[in-house]
Amino acid sequence: MLLNEMSKDELLNFKNSQQQKYDEYKSMGLSLNMARGKPCTEQLDLTLGLLDAVHSESSLLASDGTDVRNYGVLDGLPKAKVMFSQMLGVEPDEVIVGGNSSLNMMYDSVVRNILFGTDGESKPWKEYDRIKWLCPSPGYDRHFAICESLGIEMITVPMLSDGPDMDMIERLVSEDETIKGIWCVPMYSNPTGITYSDEVVKRFAALSPKASDFRIFWDNAYCIHHLTDTPDKLLNIMDELKKNGKEDMIYIFASTSKISFPGAGVAAMAASKKNIKYILSKMTVQTIGPDKINQLRHYKFFGGYDGLVEHMKKHTAVIAPRFKVVIDALEKEIAPLGIGTWHNPNGGYFVSFNSLNGCAKRIVSLCKEAGVILTSAGATYPYGNDPDDKNIRIAPTYPSLDELKTAMEIFVTAVKLASAEKLSD
């Protein structure tokens, strides 16, 4: 029976029974964490061999004869560039292979444009009184934190089932020269789990922004992170941009953080040759170059892009059952009551749950009191402000299956209780 079709008495009984159940969970003093998209220990163990891939007997010369231990090679080892070029769908000379954090490469890319502009010709973004950024939401809180920290005004753009609202994006960028960028997680979007349709990608590639220095920040973090045998497919945006002569409009990012080790993976970015040349001209002042030994370690362990893709099947085997626990709990306990919606993703790291309006904060708070930590309600929106107070990001990968089952029991109980409270208001 749908909760909003219950009589007043039925709703009161329902609420009381959920309250009782919740109090029982609360008394158990649990400590479970579904807050961050963090791989579990089983996943980390899948690449233990990476630690042995470069050892004291290994050849430490790159294909061009460079000693990977010494200084130099700002744009990354040639073989690592090839590996990431295939992952990112670009040419090897459109790639910079960096350190361990793609977030760091994104942050630095925004800061670089603030300080210097995008190409040495257009003016540095710092010379504007204020610049703005488009933020498809629900989205990734760490993207939004970069804008907030740097004083960039964020404009929320609704996420639809096939990508962000392109009508709104096309209109806004064509009108406002101070809109300088947009955050996109085009595949298995964080947190909604959807993949941009071919039409959405084509519309991105055809954008005609008023600002010539507008940049799409294409964070393809989950490009090979499938959960099923029927993965989503994402159109290659660089190919589409090149067809339109607009390849300077994009920066693409990815890393092995959720393939090898979150804290010790390898990150990369891709951009047009013109952009790469300009970026390297600034990076050469910033750093002595990336950790090439770790790049070699990754190349040797995976043996190239095909090895990366193959390896991801092992991750799927570990985490797909976790996603099933989440989806099963929601389908069994929430669907019949009509008090929430979600998308069952084919990949990525999250299940994005939408409660009844005005319930997300209450649900997250109830869970927290019962020892289940979720991403803060609102975190998936700019300035932490979810206008409907309904979106909650569930990250199922880190807890064990048993922990996750318990955590989801508590979660659905909290959803039921908060919904009953709301409806009986």
- Residue 2 or 285: the one with the smaller Cβ distance to its own copies is 285
What is the closest distance, in whole angstroms, from the C-beta atom of residue 301 to its own copies in the complex? 11
- Residue 331 or 383: the one with the smaller Cβ distance to its own copies is 383
Does residue 188 sit in helix, strand or coil?
Answer: coil
What is the closest distance, in whole angstroms, from the C-beta atom of residue 284 to its own copies in the complex? 8
Helices (H), ranges, 244-380:
273-286, 292-302, 305-329, 360-369
- Contact pick of 26, 30, 33, 36 for its own copies (by CB under 8 A): 36
* Position 282 contacts its own copies (CB under 8 A): yes
What is the closest distance, in whole angstroms, from the C-beta atom of residue 60 to its own copies in the complex? 8
Does residue 365 sit in helix, strand or coil?
Answer: helix
- Residue 43 or 192: the one with the smaller Cβ distance to its own copies is 43
Q: Give, as ranges, the residues between 78 and 137 that touch its own copies (CB under 8 A).
A: 99-101, 103-104, 107-108, 111, 114-115, 126
Site string for its own copies, 201-220 (x = CB under 8 A): --------------------
- Contact pick of 136, 181, 262, 382 for its own copies (by CB under 8 A): 262
In angstroms, the CA 25 to CA 93 distance is 55
Q: Give, as ranges, the residues between 302 and 321 that touch its own copies (CB under 8 A).
A: none
* Position 153 contacts its own copies (CB under 8 A): no
In 3D, which of 334, 332, 368, 370 has the Cα closest to residue 353? Answer: 334
What is the closest distance, in whole angstroms, from the C-beta atom of residue 124 to its own copies in the complex? 10
What is the closest distance, in whole angstroms, from the C-beta atom of residue 262 to its own copies in the complex? 4
* Position 383 contacts its own copies (CB under 8 A): no
Bin 151: left if φ > 0, else alpha if -120 < ψ < 50, else beta: left
What is the closest distance, in whole angstroms, from the C-beta atom of residue 300 to its own copies in the complex? 12
The CA-based dihedral angle spanning residues 291, 294, 295, 298, taken in that order and rounded to the nearest 10 degrees = -170
Give the total of residues touching its own copies (CB under 8 A). Answer: 53
Residue 233, φ and ψ in degrees, nearest 5: -125, 135
The token duo for 318 is 């570990």
Mark the segment that binds its own copies (CB under 8 A) among 2-10, 33-41, 79-87, 232-240: 33-41
- Residue 153 or 291: the one with the smaller Cβ distance to its own copies is 291
Kind plus residue range of the DSSP H or E element containing 340: strand 340-342
Do 62 and 292 contact (CB within 8 A), yes or no? yes
- Contact pick of 92, 193, 209, 290 for its own copies (by CB under 8 A): 290
* Position 289 contacts its own copies (CB under 8 A): yes
Beta strands in 35-173 (DSSP E): 95-97, 132-137, 153-160, 163-164
- Contact pick of 12, 28, 280, 288 for its own copies (by CB under 8 A): 288
- Residue 15 or 300: the one with the smaller Cβ distance to its own copies is 300
Q: Give, as ranges, the residues between 52 and 81 that touch its own copies (CB under 8 A).
A: 52, 54-56, 58, 60, 67-73
In angstroms, the CA 97 to CA 247 distance is 19
Beta strands in 114-248 (DSSP E): 132-137, 153-160, 163-164, 179-184, 215-219
Mark the segment that binds its own copies (CB under 8 A) among 3-11, 139-147, 176-184, 414-422: 139-147
Residue 224, φ and ψ in degrees, nearest 5: -125, 25
Do 30 and 371 contact (CB within 8 A), yes or no? yes
Cα dihedral 257, 259, 265, 268 sign: negative
Do 295 and 307 contact (CB within 8 A), yes or no? no
Residues near its own copies, by CB under 8 A: 36, 38-39, 41, 44, 48-49, 51-52, 54-56, 58, 60, 67-73, 99-101, 103-104, 107-108, 111, 114-115, 126, 142, 145-146, 149-150, 257, 261-264, 282, 285-294
